[in-house]
Homo-oligomer: A and B are copies of this chain.
């Protein structure tokens, strides 16, 4: 069978993760990495990857089955999603939850018009976590779903700290509160917001003459990001920062505690969790599996935008449905 031909747009952590994941999947072939930078200056992770200028991407239109968009949601995907859906089947990890309906509509229109198929918002959240929220509430309609994130580094919160005067480097970890996880697992159905479920821990490198009390106050009182959370601020040296806070670990839990029975008296707990040593490499692996599904569905003539909710699980696997039923059903 012909290999599925993949293109990568954007070569940061996620793009590198996709490149690595393709190397783990024998039915996939990396056609090229497309970058805004000078292709000559890019050193790829695997030895044999081709790097091209993003300006030349449309000349590869007929040589690529699925384009995996590896940019950020805020500035890259919001434009690239609709633009590339006009010429390619695409998969992306658009993760701005509030803007998903608008983004879906734009990509859907572009993909339908051009006869392509696009999957938006794959990865783990949105992605596998979303699917588990859906399964959980569908099989346990009487109940409550909780999503915990972490322990892991939040890029958005780290960026927010770095914008404070006098901060040179910052890492912010989101830490789920164990007592709350236990309470949810015990079916206590606590009434709580994300602020009650997580603490925030910050590791900050301050400039030599910076006012640390000013920085601490700016962080803990920052609206939306920190003011409603229990936030710890630790000042550390640049050496310690580079030694200890360069990791990409992340993960979390989706837990639904539901009830069945005549008086809804029977407790049932549904739980999904991820413990990831590399958030971008795992997210990339999910994107590659969904690229396989999109390739198959596009071959069947499907067009428009899709979410992970609309993809049958078997389409993610390189194995035949007969093998899957026999081996792991």
Contact = CB atoms under 8 A, between A and B. Distances in A.
Interface of A: 17, 20-21, 24-25, 45-46, 97, 100-101, 104, 121, 126, 128, 130-135, 137-142, 145, 185, 251, 260-262, 264, 266-278, 281-282, 284-286, 289, 292, 307-314, 316-318, 321-322, 324-326, 328-329
Contacts of A292: 138
A20 B261 contact: yes
Contact of A278 (B266, B274, B281): B266
| Oligomeric state, in copies | 2
A62 to B, nearest CB: 27
A132 B278 CA distance: 20
A145 B327 CA distance: 12
Contacts of A268: 274-278, 281-282, 285
Nearest to A127: B329
B329 A260 contact: no
B134 A260 contact: no
A242 B204 CA distance: 61
Contact of A316 (B138, B278, B285, B317): B138
A209 to B, nearest CB: 39
Nearest to A323: B101
A123 B299 CA distance: 31
Contact of A135 (B25, B185, B269, B316): B316
Given A307-B325, A322-B101, A134 B275 contact: no
A278 B307 contact: no
A260 B97 contact: no
Contacts of A286: 139
B262 A269 contact: no
Contact of A260 (B24, B135, B251, B311): B24
Contacts of A273: 271-273
A21 B125 CA distance: 29
Contacts of A100: 325-326, 329
